[in-house]
Amino acid sequence: MTTPFGSKLLSRVGVRVFCSAALATCLLSGSVLAQGAATNGAAHAQTKGAKANKATTVAFIELQGSLGERVRSVGLGGIAQGTTLRDVLDAINLAATDADYAGLAIRLKDAELTQTNVEELGAAIKGVRDAGKKVFLYAEGYDNVSLALGSFCDQVYLQQGGEVSLPGIYMEEMFLADMFKWVGITPDFVQIGDYKGAQEMFANSKPSPQWDQNINSLLDGIYGNLRGKLKSGRGLSDAQLDSAMERAWMASGEQAIKDRLIDAQVDLPDLDTKIGKALGTSPVDFDSDIMPDSKAKLEEMAANPFTLFSNLLKTPTHTPKRDTLAVLHIDGAIVDGNSTGGGLFGGEGSVGSRTIRRALGEIEENDKIKGVVIRINSPGGSAIASEIIWQGVRRVAAKKPVWVSIGGMAASGGYYIAVSGDKIYVNPSSIVGSIGVVGGKMALEGVYSKLHMNVVPRSRGPRAGMFGSVSPWSEADRALVRGKMTETYDLFTKRVSAGRKGIDLGKTAEGRIFAGNQAIDLKMADNIGGIEVALGDLAQNLTLKDGQYDIMDYPAPKTFQEVMENLFNGGGMTGRAPVGQMPMVGGPLAEMGALAKTFIGEANFRQVSASAQALMQMQKEPVVLVSPSVLIFK
């Protein structure tokens, strides 16, 4: 039994394990215990620590930082890095079903949640309330996203002296054409689909009419979803919400209570008493053991250096032991070859076709895996890689059901893969679509001239110089590129039509993007629901009984040894990379990225770095399926 103020806080503070000199010092930050590194905390293995008085026990979950989709690597003895979305969903579901819990309290501690995170957490919270239990949310301050989460709860509490901000949704787009012209760079792009938008940042000084329409429609959809949650959950009319938003660009707790955005202010040490009064009981006991915790495991290993050493050399197993549902993760830019752990300038990782096909092969061949949910959070990428993955999914689908769950985004190549599944689930605010193709390069002749650099191109062969860095394409070159892009677009739309019967490409293709609830109406997806809903429905479809099957994530998380090998082989320290590839993690580029963030800000940096990564991909593959990969909503 613990309280949020005790030694077992869910804040996941770093744990330093000291062992013999031969083992040196090992530091594991933000760790949670991976249950066998296979089920990733599946709710079907419902275990927890001992509890005290049933009537006054409230499950306690603390959310800090971002929620990952999966365990990417495991360390000593199966210790996994980070808390996943499914860890939290499983804990919330346990709070709903376990009779020992009288309610659920969630504390936000610098949580970095997305709108789609909130929609999936909200669905699980509804299950707690449907079970007749109350849910409480506490934070030191609230913004759009955390208030949206509060709309699913019974009571929303603010730390005394905190602030509430609900100004609405704001985003910025950067258009670099004038800057490129000034420095002497000529962006040379071809795109198929008037609404595609992937070239807009580089080639335009302002948004085209088509892109303006596209992004405004998406923004309207996401803003409407936010308002819908607040109106329904907080019992506000449109006029009342408008009035509250006028004042709540930065509101005090008192004002936020008057505007019915929150329920009360409370000092953290009094939170147990406040919740106890709401439940009509004495001060409650908070049980944080509902969340997996690695501290006891680490302490046990640290007490015995021989155990620690044996765990260093131990390779975690990743093999189904009984009936299993696989979750295949497409989370990042889609590239040819192997997946990488981090993106350009230290950004997000990439999804490699070779890595995914290897995982699909394992899933296809293992008879204990009864079905698959593909979880997609991707802006797209390589057209070739997307097609290779599509083919691999269809091979699996010939033997066992393959469903799709879209998290934050399945755009362009991400949606290409989504239509390979038999059924698609989306969150209301998922970004879906961008059925289109883009290709291009940057001609640097003007830069060379400004720097007094004389670059002499030499080539052999009729098309050898097409992707040289000096000159833009000739009309003949552009015709060839457009022809290849048209072939890719035709195959893309063919895949969409085959996977989504009855879809109207006249309303959905040419690069258009939609919010998830809009995609349902357009037959681009089937059902509203997150990963838990998709898994639950698939299990029911396969007549798998709760508690009698496991859930495993693919690709398998990297072992401790693999992480260390990658670190010291240039993947994380030197910035080196295989010939022909950009360094993806660490090194000078990561340092440059950190400097760039300081000058242009985190949000703008994410836009620029993600688009730059797509541009680098064009150096290797001239035709890609990417959307505007980062849309920053504030």
Q: What is the pLDDT of residues 350-383, one digit of tens each?
A: 899 999 999 999 999 999 999 999 999 998 988 9
* Range picked from 280-284, 311-315, 551-555 for highest mean pLDDT: 551-555
Q: Considering only CA atoms, which of 164, 147, 325 is closest in space to residue 229? A: 147
β-strand partners of 285: 57
Task: Identify the pLDDT of residue 39.
Answer: 40
What is the model's pTM? 0.78
Task: Identify the pLDDT of residue 54.
Answer: 47
Are residues 531 and 564 located together in one domain of the fold?
A: yes
Task: Identify the pLDDT of residue 603.
Answer: 52
| Residue 121 pLDDT > 60 | yes
Task: Identify the pLDDT of residue 607.
Answer: 53
β-strand partners of 6: none
Q: pLDDT tens digit string along 398-430?
A: 999 999 999 999 999 999 999 999 999 999 999
**Is 476 contained in some domain?**
no
Are residues 335 and 430 located together in one domain of the fold?
A: yes
Q: How far apart are CA 236 and CA 30, in angstroms?
A: 38
**Is 188 contained in some domain?**
no
| Residue 595 pLDDT > 60 | no
| Residue 301 pLDDT > 80 | no
Number of domains comprising the chain: 2
Task: Identify the pLDDT of residue 581.
Answer: 33
Residue with tokens 């800000």: 601
Task: Identify the pLDDT of residue 165.
Answer: 94
Torsion angle defined by CA atoms of residues 22, 586, 406 and 68, in that order, rounded to the nearest 10 degrees = 40
| Residue 135 pLDDT > 50 | yes
Average the pLDDT over 283-311 and give the result: 67
| Residue 442 pLDDT > 80 | yes
Q: Which of 284, 300, 316 is the last residue of a domain?
A: 300
Q: pLDDT tens digit string along 83-104?
A: 889 999 999 999 999 999 999 9
Q: Considering only CA atoms, which of 193, 194, 198, 143 is closest in space to residue 173? A: 198
Task: Identify the pLDDT of residue 613.
Answer: 58
List strand residue ranges (DSSP E) for 12-132, in order: 15-18, 25-28, 31-33, 57-65, 79-81, 103-111
pLDDT band at 312 (very low <50, low <70, confident <90, very high): low
Task: Identify the pLDDT of residue 73.
Answer: 58
Coarse DSSP helix, strand, coil percentages of the chain, rounded to the nearest 5 percent: 40, 20, 35
Task: Identify the pLDDT of residue 300.
Answer: 58
CB 10 within 8 A of CB 291: yes
**Angle (CA) 195 425 70, round 5°:** 100
Q: How far apart are CA 69 and CA 85, in angstroms?
A: 6
Supply the mean pLDDT for the chain.
Answer: 79
Are residues 429 and 533 located together in one domain of the fold?
A: yes
**Is 195 contained in some domain?**
no
Are residues 258 and 401 located together in one domain of the fold?
A: no
Task: Identify the pLDDT of residue 309.
Answer: 58
Task: Identify the pLDDT of residue 185.
Answer: 85
Per DSSP bridges, beta strands 431-433 and 513-515 are antiparallel
**Is 307 contained in some domain?**
no
Q: pLDDT tens digit string along 171-223?
A: 888 888 888 888 888 887 887 877 777 678 888 888 888 888 988 999 999 99
Coil vs helix vs strand at 84: strand
Q: Which domain range does residue 396 map to?
A: 324-437+492-626
β-strand partners of 550: 324
Residue with tokens 């006249």: 506
Q: Which of 267, 300, 333 is the last residue of a domain?
A: 300
Q: How far apart are CA 221 and CA 524, in angstroms?
A: 15
**Is 315 contained in some domain?**
no
- Which CATH number belongs to the domain containing residue 123 in this structure? 3.90.226.10
The pair of three-digit structure tokens given for residue 601, joined into one six-digit string: 């800000």
Are residues 516 and 369 located together in one domain of the fold?
A: yes
Are residues 343 and 426 located together in one domain of the fold?
A: yes
β-strand partners of 437: 192
The amino acid present at 515, given as its one-letter code, is: A
| Residue 108 pLDDT > 60 | yes
* Range picked from 68-72, 258-262, 552-556 for highest mean pLDDT: 258-262
Are residues 267 and 416 located together in one domain of the fold?
A: no
pLDDT band at 117 (very low <50, low <70, confident <90, very high): very high
**Is 617 contained in some domain?**
yes
| Residue 238 pLDDT > 50 | yes
Average the pLDDT over 340-348 and give the result: 53
Are residues 292 and 329 located together in one domain of the fold?
A: no
Task: Identify the pLDDT of residue 431.
Answer: 94
| Residue 1 pLDDT > 60 | no
| Residue 575 pLDDT > 70 | no
Task: Identify the pLDDT of residue 578.
Answer: 34
Q: pLDDT tens digit string along 443-497?
A: 888 888 888 888 888 887 888 888 888 888 888 888 888 898 899 999 999 999 9
pLDDT band at 51 (very low <50, low <70, confident <90, very high): very low
Task: Identify the pLDDT of residue 583.
Answer: 34
Coil vs helix vs strand at 171: coil
**Is 452 contained in some domain?**
no
Are residues 370 and 509 located together in one domain of the fold?
A: yes
Q: With 0-12 CB in 10 A as exposed, 13-18 as middle and 19+ as buried, what is 199?
A: buried
Coil vs helix vs strand at 306: helix
**Angle (CA) 110 111 117, round 5°:** 165
Are residues 260 and 407 located together in one domain of the fold?
A: no
Percent residues over pLDDT 70 in the chain: 72
Positive or negative CA dihedral for 450, 456, 458, 462? positive
pLDDT band at 315 (very low <50, low <70, confident <90, very high): low
Are residues 151 and 102 located together in one domain of the fold?
A: yes
Task: Identify the pLDDT of residue 549.
Answer: 96
**Is 413 contained in some domain?**
yes
Are residues 291 and 348 located together in one domain of the fold?
A: no
| Residue 617 pLDDT > 50 | yes
Q: How far apart are CA 105 and CA 150, in angstroms?
A: 11
Q: How far apart are CA 363 and CA 353, in angstroms?
A: 15
For residue 515, the surrounding DSSP H or E stretch is strand 513-515
